[in-house]
């Protein structure tokens, strides 16, 4: 399956690993992370720190999580994403986030668990989408 979005030509790449790409598009001012395959808890925490660094460096206010090709996340990863990572992203300035749901049904269950576990009121500007185009258009429509 090759449903991944291309990294726009003028983007700044912050991370390019087999399991994740993180890049900043200065034209639409969206930080994107594109996930592929399985990631360990330690990998997720390391990528999360890189995402936070990029948010701070670019002054990002909008982020797109492309999880279409991610595989199942372990329970610790789910708790970290729904808790500390989400709190930190809000703290560093993210106002809007869009997550594109995984194609794999078991991975989708993981993301659904994360979605239902987020109890932070400020995370109300986080939306979940079935496709990349809807997620991108929603983010572009938000002024931040």
Q: What number is the average pLDDT over the span 69-76?
A: 90
50 located within any domain: yes
Residue 86 per-residue DSSP state: H
Q: What is the CATH number of the domain that holds 51?
A: 3.30.750.24
Tokens of 54: 């990029």
Strand partners, 20: 17, 35
Q: Would you tell me how many other CB atoms lie within 10 Å of the CB of residue 129? A: 20
Q: Would you tell me how many other CB atoms lie within 10 Å of the CB of residue 11? A: 18
Tokens of 112: 């659904």
Q: Are 139 and 131 in contact (CB under 8 A)?
A: no
Kindly tell me if the per-residue pLDDT of 143 is higher than 90: no
Kindly tell me if the per-residue pLDDT of 78 is higher than 60: yes
In the chain, how many domains are there?
Answer: 1
Kindly tell me if the per-residue pLDDT of 104 is higher than 70: yes
Residue 28, phi then psi, degrees to nearest 5: -105, 0
How many residues are listed for the chain in this entry? 144
Domain of 58, in residue numbers:
12-141
User: Residue 53's pLDDT is what?
Assistant: 97
pLDDT 10s digits, 12-30: 999 999 999 999 999 999 9
């Amino acid at each position: 399956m090759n449903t991944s979005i291309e990294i726009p030509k003028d983007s700044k790449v912050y991370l390019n690993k087999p399991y994740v790409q993180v890049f900043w598009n200065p034209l639409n001012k969206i930080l994107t992370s594109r996930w592929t395959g399985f990631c360990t808890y330690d990998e997720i925490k390391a990528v999360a720190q890189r995402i936070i660094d990029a948010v701070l460096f670019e002054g990002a206010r909008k982020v797109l999580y492309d999880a279409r090709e991610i595989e199942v996340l372990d329970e610790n990863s789910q708790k970290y994403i729904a808790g500390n990572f989400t709190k930190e992203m809000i703290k560093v300035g993210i106002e809007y986030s869009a997550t594109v749901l995984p194609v794999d049904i078991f991975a989708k269950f993981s993301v659904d668990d994360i979605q239902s576990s987020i109890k932070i009121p400020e995370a109300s500007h986080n939306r979940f989408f079935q496709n990349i185009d809807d997620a991108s258009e929603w983010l572009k429509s938000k002024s931040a």
